[in-house]
Amino acid sequence: MTLSIRAIDAVSRLFFAGEVSGVDLTHPLSQADVAGISAGMDQFGVLVFHDQHLDDAQQLAFSRNFGALEQATGDIAQGSERRLSMDVNDISNLDKNNNLLARDDRRRLFGLGNRLWHSDSSFKAVPAKYSLLSARVIPGSGGNTEFADMRGAWDELDDEMQALCEPLVCEHSQLFSRATLGFSDFTDDERQRFAPVQQRLVRRHPVTGRKSLFLASHAGAIVGWPVPEARAFLRELMEHATQRKYVYAHMWRQWDLVMWDNRVTMHRARPYDHTQVRDMHRTTVACEQSTIDQAA
C-alpha cells in the first residue's frame, strides 16, 4: 500500500481536512509513512483514517510516533473510577462497568463541555499537540465532531485586529468552561488541578510558520484586562473563528480514527441520544513547550 492524502471538500473550501488511504494503523509504520502523516498534519490540520480496527495498545503505538503522550489528568474520573488506562482519554457515556451513565451523572455533565468549542488541554501549562480519536461504538445518529480552522480565522482578521491580538495572553481553565454550562460541582482537588494557566492568544506553527488564533471555551480572562471586557472580546473572536466557512463537520463511521492539530484548530462534539452508546478513545500527543515559552 502507498500512503496518500486527498483534500476533503469542506464548505469553506479552505481544505484543512484530509482523508488518508494506503496505511494500516494496526501495524507498525515505516519511517516514510510517519513522515508522510506528519507532513499531512502540517498541511491540513485534520486527517481522517477510515476502517482502522484499533485496540488501545495499537492506538498508543501509533500515537507515540509523533511525540510523548499526555496522561488523562483532565478527566474527573480518576483512579478506580476510570474505565481506561491513564494513557487514554475516555470520551464515552459509559462507566467503568461499561454501563450507560445516568443523565444526571456528574461525569456525563462534565463531559457535556466537549460540546463547547475548545482546543484539547489548553487548560494545561503545556497544551496538546495532536489528538487522535478512535470511534469504537457510535450512536445511530448525531455525535458528529466539528473542526474550525484557526489559521484561516487569523488570516481574515484585519490588520488592526491582528495587531491588537498578537501580544495578548489568556487564562485557560476547565473551571471556566464548565461554569458556562452551570457545572460547578468540583472537589477541592479538582479546583487545584484545574487552576488557570496562561496561553498566548496568537501562535506560530513551528514548521510552517503560519499564525493562528489559540482560542477555546476554557479561555475566561486576558492578562491585564478587566474580566467583562476580556470575555466580550473573546466571545467576538470565537464568533468570528467559528463561522461556517472555517468549519469542517466530520460524520463518524465506526472504526474511523481522526487526528487533529490542536495548535491550529478548535473542535466540538455535537449532541446525540444519550441512551445510545458512544464510545470514543482519545490519545493525546503533548507539545514540547508552553505557548508562553514559544516565539509569537
Q: Give percent of the chain above pLDDT 70.
A: 98
Determine contact, residues 287/91, Cβ cutoff 8 Å.
no
pLDDT band at 14 (very low <50, low <70, confident <90, very high): low
Q: Tell me the pLDDT band of 80, cut-offs 50, 70 and 90.
A: confident
Per-residue pLDDT, averaged over 38-53, amounts to: 98
DSSP string of 41-93, one letter each residue: HHHTSEEEE-S----HHHHHHHHGGGSPBPP-TTSS--GGG-SS-TTSEEEES
Lowest-confidence range among 12-16, 95-99, 137-141, 179-183? 12-16
Domain definitions of the chain by residue range: 4-286
Write out pLDDT tens, residues 188-208.
999 999 999 999 999 999 999
Residue 126 backbone dihedrals phi, psi, to 5 degrees: -110, 105
Confidence of residue 73 (pLDDT cuts 50, 70, 90): confident
pLDDT at residue number 121: 96
Which residue spans within 97-207 are E strands per DSSP?
A: 128-137, 145-149, 169-172, 197-200, 202-204
Compute the distance between CA of residue 187 and CA of residue 180 in angstroms, rounded to an integer. 18
- State whether CATH 1.20.1560.10 applies to domain 4-286: no
pLDDT for residue 101: 97
Q: What would the pLDDT profile of 227-285 be if each residue is shown by its tens digit?
A: 999 999 999 999 999 999 999 999 999 999 999 999 999 999 999 999 999 999 999 99
